[in-house]
Amino acid sequence: MSMSASKELDELAVENFRTYLRFSTVHPDPDYTDAVDWLRNQGVKMGLECFLTEIVAKNPILIMRWPGSDPSLRSIMLNSHMDVVPVEREKWAYDPFAAEMSLDGNIYGRGAQDMKSVGIQQLEAVRRLKLEGFVPKRTIYLTFLPDEEVGGGRGMQPFVSGVKPNRPGAPNEISFAEMNVGLCLDEGIACPRPDVFYAFYEERSPWWVSFLIPGNAGHGSRFIEDTAVEKLHRLMDRLLAFRDSEKKKLELIKGNDLALGGVVTSNINVIKGGIEPNVVPAEIEVQVDFRLPPTLDFDAFEQQIHKWADESGEGIKINYIQKDMSTTGHGNLSGTYDASDPVLEALKSSSCLIGAHLEVGVFFGSTDARFLRRWHKFHAGEKPIKAYGFSPMCDVPVLLHDHDEYLNKKTFLDGVRVTFLSKDMGTYGHGSVDIPIDSHPNDVWWNILEDVLSRRSIGLQTGISGGSNDGRYLRQYHRLCAPDSKPIKAISFSPLRNTRILHHASNEFVSRKAFLEGVQILVEIVQMASSVERQEDDA
C-alpha cells in the first residue's frame, strides 16, 4: 500500500472515529437510531452483510458479517458497545459530544476510550484487510451492542441466551447461535505505560450486596440500647478491615491495573437511614460493591458475608442487588489462559511491530464478554467460547467514565494497525506455514539467534510478520520451482532494539549506537551459522 493511500485511510479512520463520538448514545435514555444508521451505512459501503435485531425495544443490536472461505469453522466476533455513561458537562473543558481535537492530537469525547474507539478501530482494520485483498478462513462478525454500561440485560445477555427478538420475523435478523462464535475480542482498558498493551482472559464478578440493619428506635435525647447505628458501626469495622487486607495484598506485589483483577475490592457506596435529627432510626441500609476474582471460592466468600452480618448484631438481613456468577467461583477459572494460544501470539506479534509488548491478566471490571464465556454452561453440548478483552491503547491515562475523556490521534491509529496486523489470529488465513514460527530446542538456526542475543541479555520474540518481504519467495521455492527439493528456512530478523518503528515514515532514522550493535550481532550470527555441522536438510 502506498504512503498516500495509507495516509488517506488514516484520515478516514480519524474522521469516522470523531463522527461516531458525536452521536449522543448516553444513559439514562440513549437514542441509538442515528448511530446504527451511520454504522450500517459504513458496513454496506465496505461490502459487509448487515443484520439488525432488537430483543428489547429501543435497544438495537447491529451485526456485520464478513464471510470466510470455510463457513464450517467457528467464527471470530469483534465486539463493542455503542452506549456511554452520563457526563457532567460543567466539568469538561471540551464539549463531550463534539469530538474536538486539540493541537497535540487529543480527541475529546464521551466514549473516546470506553469504547467507541475500539469499535472504529475494529471496523477500520477490516476495511484495510479487505482493500489488501485478504480473505479470512473464518467468518468475521463485527457486533455493536447496546446497554453494556448498565449491565447488558437488554443487549448481550438476552442475545447470547437466545431470547426471541422484540419483532419476531423481521428481515435481516440473525441469532447468536447461528453465528457459531469460537472467539470474541471485546474491550479491555488503556495502559499508561508507553510500551504495553493489556489483554484480559477473564474478569471479576460484581456482587452488589444490601445489608438491612434493624435496631431499637426511640427519642434522640436518650441512650437507646442495641441501635441500628451500633450494628452498622460493627459491620463497617469488619468490612473496612477486609478492604484494608485486600489493599495490602495489592501493595505487597506493587500491583497495577492488571494485578487489581486478582484481589477483592469492596466499597461502601450507599448508606440510607433516619427520618429526623431527634429520632433514633429503626433501620439502616448499607449497599456494598464487591468485585470478586475468578480464583476466589465464591461459596466461602458468601459464608464470610453472612458471618460479618451475624457478628455485627441480631436480625441483619442480606439481599443481593446483583450477584454475578459468570465465573466458577471455586478457585478455577472459567476462561482459559494458555501463553501459547495462537490468539495471544497474534496479538503479541502485532504489538511488537509497533514497539510494544502484551501483558495478560484478569480484568478488574466487568464487560459483555462474561456472557460469552459462560455460554456453554447454559447450552448443553456447546463448546466454550474464548473471549479476550483487548483495547489497543497504550501511553495514555485511564479515563473511562472520567471528565475530559480523550484518546490521542496517534494512539488511536496505532490501535487500528495492531488490530489490522492481528489478521492471523484464530487461524484466519488459508493453509499452514511450512516452517514452525516458534523456536525449538532442536532447531540449530533459532538457537544461534537466541545464543547471540542472550549474551547481551536480549530476549527474542517470534511471530508472523505483519508485512511482506522477499523472504516469502524463498519459503515458496520448493512449491513453485523445485517440487522435489526441501523447504528453505527464511527468518526475518532486523537487529535493532530501543528504536522506534519508522518504516515508510517521514524522518525515518536509526541511532548510531543501535546500528553498530546490530552490525556486531550479525557478525556473530554469521560466524556461528557458517560453522554449523551438516544438518538433515543438507543431504
User: Which CA distances in Å does 44 have to 66, 117, 123, 142?
Assistant: 11, 20, 12, 12
**Distance between alpha carbon 302 and the CA centroid of its chain, in Å?**
29
Query: Taking Cα atoms as reference points, which of 354, 505, 390, 413 lies closest to residue 125?
Result: 413
Kindly compute the dihedral angle of the four CA atoms of residues 514, 519, 524, 526, in this order, to the nearest 10 degrees. 130
What is the DSSP code string of 149-178? GGTSTTTHHHHHHTPPPSSTT-SS---HHH
* Whole-angstrom distance, CA of residue 302 vs CA of residue 324: 12
Please report where in the chains the cell 484518546 appears, as a residue: 407
φ and ψ of 167, to 5 deg: -120, 75
Half-sphere exposure of 316 (CA within 13 A, CB side): 29
Active-site residue among 147, 148, 341, 405? Answer: 148
For 153, counting Cβ atoms within 10 Å of its Cβ (0-12 exposed, 13-18 middle, 19+ buried), the class is exposed
537 part of the active site: no
CA angle 185, 66, 392 (to 5 degrees): 30
Q: Cell numbers of 494, please?
A: 532486523
Query: Taking Cα atoms as reference points, which of 248, 300, 293, 240 lies closest to residue 266?
Result: 240
By residue count, the chain amounts to: 539
Residue 129, number of CB atoms within 10 A of its CB: 19
* Percent helix, percent strand, percent coil in the chain, to nearest 5: 35, 20, 45
187 labelled as ligand-binding? yes
Q: Where are the beta strands (DSSP E) in 220-316?
A: 265-273, 279-280, 283-292
Query: Taking Cα atoms as reference points, which of 86, 76, 59 lies closest to residue 402?
Result: 86
285 labelled as ligand-binding? no
* Whole-angstrom distance, CA of residue 21 vs CA of residue 322: 30
81 labelled as ligand-binding? yes
Kindly compute the dihedral angle of the four CA atoms of residues 306, 311, 313, 318, in this order, to the nearest 10 degrees. -10
310 part of the active site: no
345 labelled as ligand-binding? no
Active-site residue among 83, 186, 257, 405? Answer: 83
User: Which CA distances in Å does 226 have to 262, 286, 306, 385?
Assistant: 38, 17, 19, 52
149 labelled as ligand-binding? yes
Binding-site residues for Zn(2+) sit at 81, 114, 149, 187, 401
Binding-site residues sit at 81, 114, 149, 187, 401
Catalytic residues: 83, 148
